[in-house]
């Protein structure tokens, strides 16, 4: 038996190649999972761009002797094809964090009817959010008719949910508006929708490229949509910014335009690879508040500690179903076959050539 993986050069993210190799024996207590499907979104580009800083490269070490390579994590579905764990049977399907590959091994622990954690040693230093796998047979979030939507929107929506929750807990820092860069991205759409539901008094301002204005406006999730060139003409009012683009020039324009009227500057993603220096660097020299990185998994751990799994799950589910209704029909879902399709889509995402009105699912 062989497996295939897409290996990406960490210091040259546009270098991605398909690699095949033999599969070794399964360890005691472990399970082997075949990757059935995953989505490729701007979220995955963020994992690659900030990979070393947040440990994203460490979840799925490539089976290669060459230094400097990594595997970009994906969200999707997998099925158990071999098991040395008495609690997990062959044929069981799960949803969770997957490699850009055809299969992987996990060591189940903390097994319950609805989930388990991968206890593989090298994964333990990272956030437990990424090590959790939902067992679909008893997963309350699972809808067989919405599996593709869950892969495309689920992790991004939850990031938007927890950003809104954080902002509300801080009374939006006294702001009257939230400014979202990369407003056509699915994470930004998630935040815009949750803010519309839970924080209706906060005006939602979307910033995007000229080619994405029509799509972004068509979602109906923003009070206003502007191009990046219009930043200098935005009304001056107490605002917070949520930067999904990771573009240093855009971030600088926002800070210089709003200065002290920018009450909080939140850095979430990096969809503009060519300008990823905004994820730190000289950001401290900008007027207004210091840009602050937002690591959603840590906030989600705190959220569930505060509300508990049951109450927290109900809060997320309520806004999730409303979000699905809001975005229904705005994005067409395209399913691609073969792992090389994932490599090609990833490179298109890096190059910024994917239409935001399209969602990509790959069945490797």
pLDDT for 33 beyond 50: yes
Average pLDDT for 38-49 = 86
Residue where one domain finishes, among candidates 296, 312, 341 = 296
Sign of CA dihedral 106, 127, 167, 243: negative
Q: Which domain holds residue 38?
A: 2-142+331-363
Average pLDDT for 260-278 = 67
pLDDT for 234 beyond 70: yes
Confidence of residue 187 (pLDDT cuts 50, 70, 90): confident
pLDDT for 282 beyond 50: no
CATH number of the domain bearing residue 168: 3.40.50.720
Confidence of residue 46 (pLDDT cuts 50, 70, 90): confident
pLDDT for 269 beyond 70: no
**Residue 124 and residue 106: Cα distance in Å, rounded?**
12
Average pLDDT for 121-138 = 90
106 plus 202 within the same structural domain: no
Classify residue 236: in a domain, yes or no: yes
Classify residue 148: in a domain, yes or no: no
Position of tokens 């850095």?
Answer: 267
CATH number of the domain bearing residue 120: 3.90.180.10
Classify residue 18: in a domain, yes or no: yes
Classify residue 62: in a domain, yes or no: yes
The mean pLDDT of the chain is 89
201 plus 124 within the same structural domain: no
pLDDT at 10: 92
Sign of CA dihedral 333, 337, 338, 344: negative
14 plus 133 within the same structural domain: yes
Confidence of residue 275 (pLDDT cuts 50, 70, 90): very low
pLDDT for 74 beyond 60: yes
Query: What is the number of structural domains in the chain?
Result: 2
pLDDT for 276 beyond 60: no
pLDDT for 354 beyond 80: no
Classify residue 326: in a domain, yes or no: no
- The pTM of this model reads 0.79
pLDDT at 271: 44
* Phi/psi of residue 143, nearest 5 degrees: -130, 110
Average pLDDT for 243-260 = 91
137 plus 269 within the same structural domain: no
pLDDT at 64: 72
Average pLDDT for 259-286 = 65
pLDDT at 252: 92
96 plus 190 within the same structural domain: no
Query: In this predicted structure, which of 16-30, 200-214, 256-270, 278-292 has the lowest mean pLDDT?
Result: 278-292
Classify residue 22: in a domain, yes or no: yes
pLDDT at 241: 96
pLDDT at 164: 95
pLDDT digits (tens, 9 = 90+) for 309-346: 778 877 887 888 888 888 887 778 999 999 999 999 99
């Amino acid at each position: 038996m062989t497996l295939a993986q897409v290996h990406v050069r960490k210091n040259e993210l546009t270098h991605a190649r398909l690699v095949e190799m033999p599969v070794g024996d399964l360890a005691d207590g472990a399970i082997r999972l075949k990757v059935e499907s995953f989505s490729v979104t701007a979220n995955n580009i963020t994992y690659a761009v900030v990979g070393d800083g947040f440990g994203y490269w460490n979840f799925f070490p490539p089976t290669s002797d060459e230094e400097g390579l990594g595997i970009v994590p994906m969200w999707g579905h997998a099925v158990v094809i071999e098991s040395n764990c008495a609690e997990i049977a062959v044929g069981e399907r799960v949803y969770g964090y997957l490699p850009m590959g055809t299969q992987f091994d996990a060591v189940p622990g903390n097994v319950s009817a609805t989930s388990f954690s991968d206890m593989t040693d090298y994964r333990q230093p990272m956030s437990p959010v990424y090590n959790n796998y939902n067992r679909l047979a008893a997963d309350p979030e699972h809808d067989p008719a919405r599996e593709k939507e869950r892969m495309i929107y689920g992790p991004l929506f939850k990031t938007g949910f927890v950003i809104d929750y954080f902002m509300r807990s801080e009374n939006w820092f006294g702001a009257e508006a939230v400014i979202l860069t990369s407003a056509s991205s699915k994470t930004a759409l998630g935040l815009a929708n949750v803010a519309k539901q839970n924080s209706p008094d906060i005006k939602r301002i979307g910033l995007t490229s000229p080619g994405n204005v029509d799509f972004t406006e068509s979602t109906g999730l923003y009070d206003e949509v502007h191009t990046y060139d219009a930043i200098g003409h935005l009304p001056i009012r107490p605002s917070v910014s949520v930067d999904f683009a990771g573009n240093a020039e855009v971030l600088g324009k926002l800070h210089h335009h709003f200065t002290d009227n920018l009450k909080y500057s939140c850095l979430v993603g990096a969809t503009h690879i060519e300008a990823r220096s905004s994820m730190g660097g000289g950001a401290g020299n900008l007027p207004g508040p210091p840009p602050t990185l937002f690591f959603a998994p840590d906030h989600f751990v705190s959220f569930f500690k505060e509300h508990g799994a049951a109450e927290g799950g109900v809060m997320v589910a309520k806004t999730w179903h409303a979000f699905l209704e809001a975005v229904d029909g705005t994005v067409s879902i395209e399913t691609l076959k073969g792992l090389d399709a994932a490599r090609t889509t990833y490179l298109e995402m890096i190059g910024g050539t994917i239409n935001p009105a399209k969602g990509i699912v790959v069945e490797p």
